[in-house]
Amino acid sequence: MKTLNLKWLATILALFILFTGCKEKDEKIVSIFVGDFVINKAQLAEALTVPTVELGNIPIPANTDITQVVQTALLSAVNCTPPVKSYVELREDNSLYLSCEGLNPLNAGTWDEVSATSITLNMNHAAIPSSPTGFALTVTDIVKVTSKLTGITSVPLPKAMIAVMIAPLQLTLSPSAPDVFIAKFSIEFIEQ
């Protein structure tokens, strides 16, 4: 009789372990990148040379603050004042939305977690109306500290955007300027 009870106990224990183990495998791991973020700061990571009519080639030094330019370029499809209230929503299903404080979200494309320190934002035409096909923005070397994500990216900036950047300096972009400038910059997102 004791042998029979021990067999039943062993069987029940084995079934308990089997079902408990299966339950743990079904738990879904959520990426650290899922959340609502605002672009808090952007700075040139490398100097950028801009040809002007007035002064010829002028260097824009590394660490120049370009936050407003980046916010305008990436968040222009969302009419939100001030731009710091514009959310970049990275959802668990890998969809990417832009919104003004979470209201009236705009389907802006998708995002991919390339690695633990790199993501790609696949922004569609709705997000970037000036680009008929949208573009992919890869952010690398990401570090997350509490609610802050910082990383590095390179982005093509149309010459019209560069012209806006230098206009406050009372400078005019040279007609020989390339159609697109590649700007490498650091970017900081704050989770809301």
Kindly give the confidence (pLDDT) of every residue in the chain, 192 residues in length, as a single tens digit, with 9 standing for 90 and above.
555 555 655 556 555 565 555 555 556 788 999 999 999 999 999 999 999 999 999 998 999 998 887 887 788 888 888 877 899 999 999 999 999 998 999 999 999 999 999 999 999 988 888 777 888 889 999 999 999 999 999 887 788 878 877 888 899 999 999 998 888 999 999 999
**Whole-prediction pTM:** 0.75
Query: For the CA atoms of the chain, what is the radius of gyration?
Result: 24
Cα–Cα distance between 109 and 90 in angstroms, integer?
Answer: 10
Amino acid making up residue 178:
P
Cα–Cα distance between 149 and 38 in angstroms, integer?
Answer: 10
Cα–Cα distance between 126 and 75 in angstroms, integer?
Answer: 11
| Domains in the chain: boundaries | 35-191
Confidence (pLDDT) at 12: 61
Given the structure tokens 């934002």, which residue do they identify?
121
Confidence (pLDDT) at 9: 54
Cα–Cα distance between 15 and 12 in angstroms, integer?
Answer: 5
Does the 35-191 domain belong in CATH 3.40.5?
Answer: no
Confidence (pLDDT) at 83: 77
Token pair for residue 76? 């222009």
Confidence (pLDDT) at 186: 96
Cα–Cα distance between 137 and 5 in angstroms, integer?
Answer: 63
Cα–Cα distance between 128 and 119 in angstroms, integer?
Answer: 18
Give the strand pairing for 86-90 and 56-60. unpaired
